[in-house]
């Protein structure tokens, strides 16, 4: 297939591009490099540009017939979305509309959308399945939920088939060491702890030890980036072949909850082999951090035949540590 990957210079997008290319697909990456990195585009053709640029989109879709589009481009910092909501609604909603309208103009009918567990807000129950109410508590989650609604309307009006994939906590790195997580600023727990271990960060801060969990720290569901990408590939195949039609949504996670302290302990075990240790600082809770977020991915496994390969926490951390060592003075 010919596939356009928007945001393919970012963390998840770059892994997706590699996986698609190695599977024999022809990939074009569209990225404005605002948060992505040219160096991560090791596969496919990179077109530097923005999905808000209508003329560029028309040029791309005129030059090549795409079987499907994957969109990983988004602003994704919850805290920033609270202080600058306009940025999130413009980038995550308005710019996605620009992309969808270009697809409609050029007859491209297959779309995979990167969404988030933040659309669910405070969990009413865990694990969280697709029937859970979607009541986001921040503009980031709200912006993603808006696009989910738009996709339903675009299917009804234009016959656009889409699958939305809601991530819980993406983590890990390319097992071959070519790609990994590079955010500025970094906000994800595992790379933050690894940076504390490598010396690129003074310490890891634990925000609150008074949650109603076994050890008092927040519990999250961590899913390897390679497993996220395999779900995207299966989702695209499902709609391109016609096995799935409509505007569908699936939750992606391992269904295993690990506390912040458990992640710190697991990282310490991995990095100790290199003589490193993790310094920990304590801080009060952050506003808006739910005690527990764990996915129920039963539906994705049943309907997309998705089978995560990297569910072991030590394996996930080891892959991420090998990448961190390349970025730090341990390389």
Question: Nearest to residue 190, comparing CAs of 214, 222, 230, 229?
Answer: 222
> Which ranges of 117-246 does DSSP label H, i.e. alpha helix?
139-158, 189-198, 225-240
Question: Nearest to residue 303, comparing CAs of 255, 228, 254, 231?
Answer: 231
Q: Where are the beta strands (DSSP E) in the chain?
A: 2-6, 26-31, 45-48, 68-71, 110-116, 161-167, 169-171, 204-207, 219-224, 247-252, 257-259, 280-283, 292-293
Contact (Cβ atoms closer than 8 angstroms) between residue 236 and residue 68: yes
What the block records as the tokens of 60 is 């791309």
Greatest Cα pair distance in the chain: 59
Cα–Cα distance, 158 to 277 (Å, whole number): 55
Cα–Cα distance, 199 to 192 (Å, whole number): 11
Indicate if 222 belongs to the active site.
Answer: no
Cα–Cα distance, 100 to 311 (Å, whole number): 34
Of 43, 140, 211, 222, the catalytic one is 140
What the block records as the tokens of 36 is 């992505």
Contact (Cβ atoms closer than 8 angstroms) between residue 240 and residue 139: no
Any idea what DSSP says for residue 10? S
Cα–Cα distance, 285 to 288 (Å, whole number): 9
Tell me which residues are annotated as active site.
Answer: 140
């Amino acid at each position: 297939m010919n596939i356009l990957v928007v945001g393919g210079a970012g963390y998840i997008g770059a892994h997706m591009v590699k996986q698609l290319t190695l599977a024999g697909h022809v990939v074009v990456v569209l990225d404005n490099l605002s948060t992505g990195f040219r160096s991560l585009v090791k596969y496919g053709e990179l077109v530097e540009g923005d999905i808000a640029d209508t003329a560029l989109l028309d040029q791309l879709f005129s030059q090549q017939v795409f079987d499907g589009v994957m969109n990983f481009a988004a602003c994704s910092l919850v805290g920033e979305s609270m202080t600058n909501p306009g940025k999130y609604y413009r980038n995550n909603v308005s710019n996605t509309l620009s992309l969808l309208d270009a697809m409609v103009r050029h007859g491209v009918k297959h779309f995979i959308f990167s969404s988030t567990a933040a659309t669910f807000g405070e969990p009413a129950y865990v694990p969280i399945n697709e029937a859970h109410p979607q009541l986001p508590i921040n503009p980031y989650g709200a912006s993603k939920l808006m696009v989910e609604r738009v996709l339903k309307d675009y299917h009804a009006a234009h016959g656009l088939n889409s699958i939305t994939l809601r991530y819980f906590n993406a983590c890990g790195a390319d097992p071959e060491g070519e790609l990994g997580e590079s955010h500025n600023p970094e906000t994800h727990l595992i790379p933050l702890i690894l940076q504390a271990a490598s010396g690129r960060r003074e310490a890891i801060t634990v925000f609150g030890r008074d949650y109603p969990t076994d050890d008092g720290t927040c519990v999250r569901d961590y899913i390897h980036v390679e497993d996220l990408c395999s779900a995207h590939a299966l989702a695209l195949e499902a709609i391109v072949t016609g096995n799935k039609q409509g505007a569908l949504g699936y939750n992606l996670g391992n269904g295993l909850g690990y506390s912040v302290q458990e992640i710190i302990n697991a990282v310490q075990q991995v990095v100790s082999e290199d003589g490193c240790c993790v310094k920990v600082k304590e801080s009060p809770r952050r506003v808006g951090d739910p005690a527990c977020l764990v996915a129920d991915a039963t539906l994705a496994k049943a309907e997309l035949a998705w089978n995560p390969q990297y569910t072991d926490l030590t394996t996930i951390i080891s892959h991420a540590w090998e990448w961190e060592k390349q970025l730090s003075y341990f390389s």
